[in-house]
């Protein structure tokens, strides 16, 4: 046990994986200096420039080359810098990496971790703030990780590097410095949610940084006597349908909250799945961003945020 930051926990998991397995390597722009957010700090000194490789500003080639290297037996950790720039490597991820194993009849694997820091952070505007996790959840072949705590960023990074599947690993840029206790030996199983708070009145499902806001909302509600069960999905594919359906069936009320645009978001998938499986006492709700573009000015940016207050308000309405 020990306290780590969200960013530091993934760094430590990566460091340990690189020490244990010489085929693990990292590639991306500016990794030699530790990465844009310090996610690779100290690794070049420890493992050298071949295994902590700088790259040209060629997102498509970073993705494609790492894929080629994965097919011959290495385990690349790919850094996209910002989730937004990963769109420059869409063909490589969606048409090549996600499909290779299937198209080639099981002859190949793409054991890759594709890191895409996402989310709203410090007035970064429309091209540096997006949350596109639902896109990746839609693509067969990909695993989608959306960790929200230091513990999970340790355990899930470790599991992602060990996985033989391509894992789209979406860290939230706003919480690199969040601290938490990390038990390095804690087991992690893909597709299992973490119940952040127990409660019997309403089920609140969230992920990534929004799960932290959902937990905050749950604590406020608890003080008012409303029992919110806050479930952090942690991964969107696979996702823990069992836990969510069980909880929603028990509380009879479901609210899903995510930072990304509500329209076509993964919240819709959660709601649709639950209403097919469980009888609810109230119509389920989802909260996400309006289908608007993320702006620069803070007051404009705030209009698109999904806050703890909004989550608490929606839960109160559901329980009224």
Partner 1 sequence: MTQPNYDRTRGLALLTMMERIRAFERQAELAATRDQLVLGAIHLSIGQEACAAGIIAALRRDDLLLSTHRGHGHTLAKGADPTAMMEELLGRAGGCCGGKGGSMHIADFGVGMLGANGVVSANIPIGAGAAHGIKLLGDDRIVVDIFGDGAINRGPFLEGLNWAAVFGLPVLFVCEDNEWSATTRTSDMTAGEGAAARAKSFGIRTEVVDGNDVEAVADIARDLVAAIRRDRQPAFLHARTFRQGGHTYFDPATYRAKEEAAARIASDDPIARQREILLGAGVAEADLDRIASDAWAEMEAALAAAAAAPFPEDGSVFADVQDIGSPELEAY
Residues with catalytic function: 128
First to last CA, the chain: 41
- Alpha-carbon gap, residue 151 to 105, rounded angstroms: 36
| Binding flags for partner 1, 27-66, as an x/- string (CB under 8 A) | -----------------------xx-x--x-x-xx--xxx
Residue of 19, 20, 45, 95 interacting with partner 1 (CB under 8 A): 95
> To the nearest whole angstrom, how small is the minimum distance from the Cβ of residue 72 to partner 1?
4
126 binds partner 1 (CB under 8 A): no
> To the nearest whole angstrom, how small is the minimum distance from the Cβ of residue 87 to partner 1?
13
Helix (H, G, I), strand (E, B) or coil at 308: helix
**DSSP string of 76-118, one letter each residue:** EEEE-SSGGGGGGGHIIIIIIIHHHHHHTTTS-----EEE--B
In the window 218-237, what residues touch partner 1 (CB under 8 A)? 237
238 binds partner 1 (CB under 8 A): yes
The beta strands (E) that lie in the chain are given as 3-5, 24-27, 52-53, 75-79, 113-115, 143-145, 167-169, 179-181, 194-197, 202-206, 228-232, 235-237, 254-261, 285-289
Question: Under rule CB under 8 A, how many of the chain's residues touch partner 1?
Answer: 45
* Helices and strands, number each (H, E), in the chain: 12, 14
Judge whether 218 and 194 are in contact, CB under 8 Å: no
Residue of 83, 142, 257, 304 interacting with partner 1 (CB under 8 A): 142
Cβ neighbours, 10 Å, residue 284: 20
207 binds partner 1 (CB under 8 A): no
Residue 105 or 298: which CB sits closer to partner 1?
A: 105
> To the nearest whole angstrom, how small is the minimum distance from the Cβ of residue 60 to partner 1?
5
Partners of 289 in beta bridges: 261
70 binds partner 1 (CB under 8 A): yes
> To the nearest whole angstrom, how small is the minimum distance from the Cβ of residue 190 to partner 1?
5
Residue of 30, 32, 108, 280 interacting with partner 1 (CB under 8 A): 108
Residue of 23, 123, 192, 307 interacting with partner 1 (CB under 8 A): 23
> To the nearest whole angstrom, how small is the minimum distance from the Cβ of residue 96 to partner 1?
6
Residue 110 or 197: which CB sits closer to partner 1?
A: 110
| Binding flags for partner 1, 143-182, as an x/- string (CB under 8 A) | x-------------------xxx-x---------------
Residue 88 or 293: which CB sits closer to partner 1?
A: 88
102 binds partner 1 (CB under 8 A): yes
- Alpha-carbon gap, residue 251 to 231, rounded angstroms: 13
Residue of 40, 47, 67, 135 interacting with partner 1 (CB under 8 A): 67
Residue of 104, 127, 177, 317 interacting with partner 1 (CB under 8 A): 104
- Alpha-carbon gap, residue 127 to 26, rounded angstroms: 24
Closest to 99 in 3D by CA, of 66, 139, 71: 139
**φ/ψ bin of 21: left (φ > 0), alpha (ψ from -120 to 50), beta (otherwise):** beta
Cβ neighbours, 10 Å, residue 36: 16
Judge whether 222 and 248 are in contact, CB under 8 Å: no
Please give the residue ranges that form the binding site for partner 1 (CB under 8 A): 23, 25, 50-51, 53, 56, 58, 60-61, 64-74, 91-92, 95-96, 100-108, 140-143, 163-165, 167, 190-191, 237-238
């Amino acid at each position: 046990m020990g306290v780590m930051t969200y960013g530091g926990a993934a760094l430590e998991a990566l460091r340990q994986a690189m020490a244990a397995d010489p085929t693990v390597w990292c590639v991306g722009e500016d990794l030699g200096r530790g990465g844009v957010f310090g996610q690779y700090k100290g690794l070049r000194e420890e493992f050298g420039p071949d295994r902590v490789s700088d790259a040209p500003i060629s997102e498509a080639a970073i993705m494609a080359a790492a894929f080629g290297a994965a097919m011959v037996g290495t385990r690349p950790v790919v850094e996209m810098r910002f989730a937004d720039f990963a769109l420059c490597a869409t063909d490589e991820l969606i048409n090549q990496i996600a499909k290779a194993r299937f198209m080639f009849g099981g002859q190949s694997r793409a054991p890759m971790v594709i890191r895409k820091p996402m989310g709203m952070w410090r007035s970064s505007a429309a091209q540096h703030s997006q949350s596109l996790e639902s896109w990746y959840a839609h693509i067969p072949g990909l695993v989608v990780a959306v960790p929200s705590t230091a513990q999970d960023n340790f355990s899930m990074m470790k599991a992602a590097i060990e996985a033989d599947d391509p894992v789209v690993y979406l860290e939230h840029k706003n919480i690199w410095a969040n601290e938490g206790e990390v038990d390095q030996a804690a087991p992690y199983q893909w597709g299992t949610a973490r119940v952040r708070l127990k409660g019997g009145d309403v089920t609140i499902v969230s992920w990534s940084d929004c799960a932290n806001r959902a937990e905050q909302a749950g604590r406020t509600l608890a003080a008012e006597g409303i029992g919110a069960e806050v479930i952090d999905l942690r991964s969107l594919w696979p996702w823990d349908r069992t836990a969510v359906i069980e909880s929603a069936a028990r509380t009879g009320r479901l609210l899903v909250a995510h930072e990304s645009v509500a329209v076509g978001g993964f919240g819709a998938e959660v709601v649709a799945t639950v209403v097919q499986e469980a009888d609810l006492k109230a119509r389920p709700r989802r909260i996400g961003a309006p289908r608007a573009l993320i702006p620069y000015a803070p007051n404009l940016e705030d209009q698109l945020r999904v806050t703890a207050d909004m989550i608490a308000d929606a839960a109160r309405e559901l329980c009224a």
